Amino acid sequence: MNNNVLDIIKSRGYWRINFEPLVYGEKLKTLGECKDIVEKNAVRLRGWDYPHFPKRTGDNTGLEAGNNFYQGWIDWYDEKELWRMYQSGQFLHYFGLRDDWSELSHWGIVPDAASEPKNTLNIIGEVIYEITEVFEFLSRLAKNGIYDEGVRVTISLNKTKDRELTVKDALRAPLMGAYKATLDKIEFTKEYRKDEVLAQSKELAFDVVLYIFERFGWHNPPIATIKRDQENLLSGQP
């Protein structure tokens, strides 16, 4: 693995996602199972899977076995990720905010992007879609018996101080006001039963989205619009 990939991710805004089984044990008997369960259950609803499952190994991406986990990583254009699935059932995932690496985007160089401050957060692509995918992935793991006794979910968004919410969609009106974080890290943690995760993954994601927006001072977001964005994503029409 590129030993600098985690440092690269942490050098700009990034998410940290952690699923921890409430009862630890050997949920996955072999390292191969750790790899296979991620590949089988990765969420593929838009142009990039969650978590990204590398299809090759090279200088900028790869899959590797550890002592009690399997990990995948990528440092390719604006895609910066590192995940680990442990035999215990714990899943840990770091990934960068794509907009913070816009000067490297494979969709084309953004004019002056390298000199732009990394101080915005795209509410649709970087929050609503991402968090909905996180909980969809969680529900798929739960269906495979990883969290039968429940799961603790910890989600943190890092390097948020002075970062402002924005809408990066030419077809939508901009936000009616400036919503800026004063915290450098926004963290959410909660324990869930397996049946909650299976039956309400979209609703659980919605609650986390609102939690994050509130920490930016946005207390009256358009509920119906957020839910419609979730539905569009889950139906494969983001």
Give per-residue pLDDT as tens, 86-115.
Answer: 999 999 999 999 999 988 876 554 545 444
pLDDT at 111: 47
Q: For the chain, what is the domain count?
A: 2
Bridge partners (DSSP) listed for residue 157: 15, 186
pLDDT for res 237: 79
Sequence-ordered alpha helix ranges (H) in the chain: 5-10, 31-41, 129-143, 194-215, 223-234
**Residue 24 in this model has a pLDDT that exceeds 90:** no
% of the chain with per-residue pLDDT over 90: 84
For 218, other C-beta atoms within 10 Å of its C-beta total: 17
Range of the domain at 193: 119-238
Q: What is the pLDDT of residues 188-224, one digit of tens each?
A: 999 999 999 999 999 999 999 999 999 999 999 999 9
Strands 14-21 and 151-158: antiparallel
Q: What is the pLDDT of residue 115?
A: 44
Q: Whole-prediction pTM value?
A: 0.94
113 in any annotated domain: no
Q: Is residue 5 part of a domain?
A: no
Q: Would residue 191 count as lying in a domain?
A: yes
161 and 67 within one domain: no
**57 and 150, same structural domain?**
no
